[in-house]
Amino acid sequence: MPLNDLNFTGYENVATGSIEEMVSHNWIGRYEEGVAKLIRISFLDEKVDVEFREQVLDAARALVDLAYSAGDGCALYSLQKSLFYLYNQHVESPSGDVSGNQYSPFLLSIRQILEDGWMAFENSRLPVFPDYEVMGVKNFSSQIKSLWQSHKAYSHEIFSYMELYATKEEVCFYICSDYALNVRFYDLISLSLVAAPEVTRVEVANNYWDEMGNGDVGRTHIQLFRHVLESIGSQKAKHDYLALLGASGLAGYNLLLKQVLSRGDYFRSIGSLAITELADPQQYVRFLNGCKRVGIYSDKFEYYSEHIDIDALHGEAWVDNVIVPMAAAYPECRKQIIEGCYLRLNSSVDYWDEVMNKMRDL
């Protein structure tokens, strides 16, 4: 595809139109379409001239400003969807058409600009932390559980709403919206094993083995979740899951992928995954009560019922056998682990708020 065929704006060519012209034509909601096209151009960096490169990067900076300074929802969605495409390059099938530009300097520059703006916003929402380096390891373990239980995510209204009030349509919508991260989770776990300290590998590997159905291909967690979709008669999530995610849903997905793909975020990823394992059992109990209330629960819901039992063990074990050994071995990285916990909790609240609003609009 020639670069001149790229349409970042829906109205004009980014290679010839100025940034000011693109902004005036509401180009911002189309930026992700241009990114998706760039990813698929063979030998991209050989075809990009300096002027085109700088215009696209300037557009990325403008997108960040509109998303996080001006609070433009369209820009925020476009930014997160662009990052979704850029991160997915690293976990796509190697036979696809996006692998050739996996380490394109041009695409990595776009990603860095969008990431920096996003993370500046996320970091601004973090509290002031105590000096975790001088804290005892046992106290650090308690701190993880305490911050989870004191955060808004711990008792988010979406789960009491689904348990007591949601309609069948709303509960089914929640299931479908959860598809993207649930089917990607085994990748997250496997990537967390790369260069992991030896003392933590057994626990992470146990978690991964559970994701793989303990060796039974018919009981992998991906297959179990697809059984849930089949039981409620919904295949849309499987084939068009991206369309179900808003900006916050994309951000929650992107956060975990960003962390496991970046070595500099390794300790944050461990904190984020710990929170995920701790939170699921309690939430799924209330969720399944809602499924039973609206009459959709069946033996096909093993994905959720199994996570209630398994994650109750994994959550505690992840803290005791992954977090604690790492906090002991790397006291200077304890703050990053806590940051990962908070980032995951904050993104979860944003996502559940978004899903609640969508459910009520059904």
* pLDDT band per the 50, 70, 90 thresholds, residue 39: very high
Give the separation between CA 13 and CA 191, rounded to whole angstroms. 38
DSSP label at residue 145: H
DSSP label at residue 43: T
Q: Which of 260, 113, 123 is nearest to 181 (CA)?
A: 260
Give the distance from CA 7 to its chain's centroid. 27
Give the domain ranges of the chain: 3-124, 132-360
Q: Which of 39, 36, 60 is nearest to 113 (CA)?
A: 60
- Kindly state the tokens that stand for 136: 């005892």
- What pLDDT sits at residue 307? 83
Q: What is the pLDDT of residues 55-83, one digit of tens each?
A: 889 889 999 999 999 999 999 999 999 99
Q: What is the pLDDT of residues 132-175, one digit of tens each?
A: 777 777 778 888 888 899 999 999 999 999 999 999 999 999 99
Minimum mean pLDDT range among 110-119, 308-317, 351-360:
308-317
First to last CA, the chain: 40
* pLDDT band per the 50, 70, 90 thresholds, residue 310: confident
Does residue 46 have a pLDDT over 70? yes
- Mean pLDDT computed over 15-37: 59
Enumerate residues 6+ apart whose C-beta is below 8 A from 250. 77, 80, 81, 83, 84
- Kindly state the tokens that stand for 27: 């180009």
Residue with more model confidence, 103 or 316: 103
Reading phi first (left if > 0) and then psi (alpha if -120 to 50, else beta), residue 197 is in beta
CB 80 within 8 A of CB 254: yes
Enumerate residues 6+ apart whose C-beta is below 8 A from 226. 238
Q: What is the pLDDT of residues 89-118, one digit of tens each?
A: 998 877 767 778 999 999 999 999 999 999
Residue with tokens 């400003």: 65
> Class assignment of domain 132-360?
mainly alpha
As a whole number, the mean pLDDT across the chain is 86
Reading phi first (left if > 0) and then psi (alpha if -120 to 50, else beta), residue 327 is in alpha
Q: What is the pLDDT of residues 177-235, one digit of tens each?
A: 988 888 888 889 899 989 888 888 888 898 889 889 889 998 998 899 999 999 998 86
